[in-house]
Structure 1
């Protein structure tokens, strides 16, 4: 469970009403596992300042983080998928090192390293 301070930062001051059926189901499950009524160890409350949420809830926050961190890869994939494939060369060069093929697939050129494209 979250400390009250962390709970406020994550969920705001919203006080959700307990779902009686969900509580009963939880109690029943704990009884089946022979855990209901037993004391448990408690950890000290942790309190620190969280960075602001990127959205109105945790779901939006992590979705936005995912969009931000995957943006460059998504854009690269869009560029890659929107370009036509070059023609397959009639013969493959099996020499060691890097080989560059022309877009028409007719010529193979040995190169020191792949050219960087932006």
Structure 2
């Protein structure tokens, strides 16, 4: 997927984009901006773009101890699915989890 670009979330505009994707994918657990800011302090949040179009986001929750499990969540907006973007987001998240010392990662697939 050479056309997919991911960026670590920084600033309110990117937090709002991450929040939008999360809330579209998981409306039953919709978050407000304050909740997303709090998560950004604990987890690695990334947005995914094709050119300048937001197509998805990801979350990496670090392991609680060295060698423990990390959680990698990849979300892709419905209109951009089945193009391999979720796989790229997951693999990048998994690589980051390993840097954080994860021995293995739990994959979470959003509907």
Of structures 1 and 2, the one scoring higher in RCO (CA 8 A, sep 6+) is 2
TM-score bracket for the superposition, by shorter chain length: under 0.3
Provide the TM-score with structure 2 as the length reference. Answer: 0.19
TM-score (norm 1): 0.19
| Structure with greater proportional strand content | 2
Larger radius of gyration: 1
